[in-house]
Amino acid sequence: MTDNILSLNLATTRQQWGFAQAVDGCLRHGVTAISPWRDQVAAIGLSEAVSIVRANNLRVTGLCRGGMFPADSTEGRQRNVDDNLRAIDEAAALNADCLVLVVGGLPGSSKDIAAARGMVLDGIAAMLPHAEASGVKLAIEPLHPMYAADRACVNTIDQALDMAEQLGANVGIAIDVYHVWWDPKLPEAIARAGRMNRIFAHHICDWLVPTRDLLLDRGMMGDGVIDLKAIRALIEQAGYHGPQEVEIFSAENWWKRPGDEVVETCLQRFRTVC
């Protein structure tokens, strides 16, 4: 049985639409699964966002994002954990499939990436009891190594799975093709995630050549070099048949186009290249 549908990560239209507008736009095109960001939820208010989700029977494939655990003081690390506890409450209210964790990089002037990874492990462990009690799964999203210093010191699926193994069944991974497509061990890592039953989300976009901005120049599926069908085949062989969530940051292209055009293009490419 498959549930391979398209979900729109609302970052993909964040410059065109707020939360309510994005939902309306998705519904116009028959898209009934979304993944909002916390700032988008906060802008409209959690209770109103929950009301919109319920009224339209939407599936929330993830809430973006928790994480950002490392800090250069005990107080800073506790503040980060406290924010993640709030994120769990928001994900639970939205009945999200998972809370996506972008774990954070090196704190302050540190050059100790091993210590940063230790802070990540400690931070997830501290929020885990509340997540389990709230019925919220935690999905570590490994980010491309170019982000190791500032955004995520967990950079491969295997690193994320090593942490998940220590933390328990409520912790898994979000596989974002933009971040992992390059990994020569990708097939083995995805297979391992499947054996562990830890694939909680699958994000899609494309890697452009050339890429003009490493954060804000993601490509529409089919416009770059990622073999999306091959990666999806590996993910399905690993046992995950859930939604493919389009997440595109594109300051100079897709964020400047009408939202309806963006959603329609996402759907067309989903059908043809994903």
* Residue 55 half-sphere exposure toward CB, CA atoms < 13 A: 10
Opening angle at CA 45, ends 43 and 48, nearest 5: 125
- Rounded CA-CA distance 186/157 in Å is 8
pLDDT band (50, 70, 90) for residue 1: very low
The confidence score (pLDDT) of residue 2 equals 62
Structure tokens at 190: 């995805």
Q: What is the mean pLDDT of the chain?
A: 98
Query: Which residue in 45, 204, 200 sits closest to 136, CA to CA?
Result: 200
- Rounded CA-CA distance 36/171 in Å is 20
Contact status, residue 237 vs residue 2, Cβ threshold 8 Å = no
Right CATH for 6-273 from 3.10.20.340, 1.10.3720.10, 3.60.110.10, 3.20.20.150: 3.20.20.150
Residue-wise pLDDT tens digits, 165-220: 999 999 999 999 999 999 999 999 999 999 999 999 999 999 999 999 999 999 99
Share of the chain above pLDDT 90, in %: 99
Between the alpha carbon of residue 29 and those of residues 22, 94, 201, 265, 266, the distances in Å are 11, 22, 22, 11, 10
- pTM summary value: 0.98
Residue-wise pLDDT tens digits, 61-104: 999 999 999 999 999 999 999 999 999 999 999 999 999 999 99
Query: Which residue in 123, 29, 26 sits closest to 83, CA to CA?
Result: 123
The confidence score (pLDDT) of residue 3 equals 84
Residues 2-29 have a mean pLDDT of 96
Give the residue carrying structure tokens 């043809």.
272
Structure tokens at 80: 């980060």
Contact status, residue 261 vs residue 231, Cβ threshold 8 Å = no
Residue 146 DSSP label: G
